[in-house]
Amino acid sequence: MDGAQLVKEWLDSLHERGRSQHTLDAYRRALDHFTAWNQTVYGESFDPGRIIPRDVEDWIICQRKDETAAPSTVNQRLVALSGFYQWVHGRGLVKNNPTAEAGSVRLDKRQPKGLDERDLRRLLRAVYAGSNLRDIAMVELLVGTGLRVGELLALKVGDLTVKSHTGKVVVRMGKHGGYREIPLTLEVRKALKAYLDRHPQKDNPEALVWTSPRGALSTRSAVLRMLEKYATAATIAPFGPHALRHTFASQYLKANPGDLRGLAALLGHASLNTVMIYTEPSMDDLEKRMQRVQASSGV
């Protein structure tokens, strides 16, 4: 059985189904890694029908012990190999799927990376210094609501309610099709009002909120470039829009300790388990706690 040809046919089928080139390249590298390992261990070309579950387990162990590959890397490769075997098994080209019982490598718990208070202040100062009303409103909204970048870009004028004493943003199609409403703080309302007052279609509820001289702002890369510009101006490390979602979540729990249900509703998560990561202490938190233990013990 020509393994290389089958891998090519599988990748071609994914391409026809609309998978991105980035995903296809990652899957190809993963299968290349497995076939190279197979060649090293057995001294023979990759034959999908000869692979057994023990091979998959040994491959995973090799990556972790001999290559010291990160758990996320091992898991990504396993996803590719599993996808390939689901395809060949579904077509009846192999009798068994050797990846069926393979478990992913457990990831270390990590607190999501957001901006600390100092960097957030420096960012906001840089954004306001730029005097671009759209950028100010966009950053204030991300920091003040935790919107995903896709939700941000999909907003229409009618999704925003901005009044002197109240306001909200409506996310009509969040992740997995979820609908939610998020109250707006005073600072966010002020920034949005200043921007919307000059919006060329402010009276059209169906108009997209974010515009540029070339039309509607609709790409994630445009938001990323904007944030990179202000990160440079603020002399802080570059970050993506998701970091501002984490920043919002951390600030919310700091102001409302233990309110995981409220945070989950605002972020658009159906499960409390998803927002539990924000309760994990950072290394700085643990160091401070250890110092308090030492101080209290008098050692």
Q: Give the pLDDT of residue 171.
A: 93
CA dist 49 and 75 (Å) reads 22
User: What value does the CA radius of gyration of the chain take, rounded to a whole number of Å?
Assistant: 25
Q: Flag whether pLDDT at 245 surpasses 80.
A: yes
pLDDT in tens, 23-35: 899 999 999 999 9
Averaged over 77-92, what is the pLDDT? 93
Q: Flag whether pLDDT at 258 surpasses 90.
A: no
Q: Flag whether pLDDT at 282 surpasses 70.
A: no
Q: pLDDT band at residue 37, thresholds of 50, 70 and 90?
A: very high
End-to-end CA distance of the chain: 68
Question: Picking from 141-145, 154-158, 172-176, which range would have the lowest pLDDT averaged per residue?
Answer: 172-176
Tokens for 189, please give them.
Answer: 């309302």
| β-bridge mates for residue 287, sequence order | none
Q: Flag whether pLDDT at 194 surpasses 90.
A: yes
Tokens for 31, please give them.
Answer: 């299968």
Q: pLDDT band at residue 238, thresholds of 50, 70 and 90?
A: confident
Question: Picking from 4-13, 106-115, 128-137, 208-217, which range would have the lowest pLDDT averaged per residue?
Answer: 106-115
DSSP code string of 31-85: HHHHHHHHHHHHSS---GGG--HHHHHHHHHHHHHTS---HHHHHHHHHHHHHHH
Q: Give the pLDDT of residue 84.
A: 94
Q: Which member of 148, 189, 199, 246 is catalytic?
A: 148
Look up 278 and say whether it is catalytic.
yes
Q: Give the pLDDT of residue 219.
A: 85
Q: Which member of 175, 198, 220, 292 is catalytic?
A: 175
Q: Which member of 33, 122, 199, 245 is catalytic?
A: 245
Mean pLDDT, rounded, of the chain = 89
Look up 175 and say whether it is catalytic.
yes
The contacts of residue 130 (CB under 8 Å, 6+ apart) are: 136, 230, 233
pLDDT in tens, 212-233: 888 788 888 899 999 999 999 9
Domains, the chain, with CATH or none: 3-90 (1.10.150.130), 117-280 (1.10.443.10)
Q: Flag whether pLDDT at 42 surpasses 60.
A: yes
What sign does the dihedral 172-244-106-11 (CA atoms) show?
positive
User: Which single residue is written with the structure tokens 């607190």?
Assistant: 111
Q: Give the C-alpha distances (Å, rounded to integers) separating 203 from 101, 247, 299.
A: 57, 32, 67
Question: Picking from 47-61, 162-176, 197-211, 270-284, which range would have the lowest pLDDT averaged per residue?
Answer: 270-284
Q: Give the pLDDT of residue 212.
A: 84
Q: Flag whether pLDDT at 52 surpasses 90.
A: yes
In this prediction the pTM is 0.61
Q: Give the pLDDT of residue 22.
A: 84
Share of residues in the chain with pLDDT > 70 (%): 93
Q: Give the pLDDT of residue 299.
A: 53
Question: Picking from 35-44, 102-111, 123-132, 186-195, which range would have the lowest pLDDT averaged per residue?
Answer: 102-111
Q: Flag whether pLDDT at 62 surpasses 90.
A: yes
Long-range CB contacts for residues 263-271, cutoff 8 Å, separation at least 24: 265/180, 266/145, 266/146, 266/180, 266/182, 267/146, 268/148, 268/151, 268/171, 268/174, 268/175, 268/178, 268/180, 270/176, 270/178
What sign does the dihedral 278-284-290-293 (CA atoms) show?
negative
Look up 172 and say whether it is catalytic.
no
Q: Give the pLDDT of residue 112.
A: 61
The answer to whether the CB of 208 falls within 8 A of the CB of 156 is yes
Q: Which member of 50, 156, 193, 242 is catalytic?
A: 242
Q: Flag whether pLDDT at 287 surpasses 80.
A: no
Averaged over 93-106, what is the pLDDT? 86
Q: Give the pLDDT of residue 46.
A: 92
Q: pLDDT band at residue 276, thresholds of 50, 70 and 90?
A: confident
Q: Give the pLDDT of residue 269.
A: 85
CA 114 to chain centroid, in Å, comes to 12
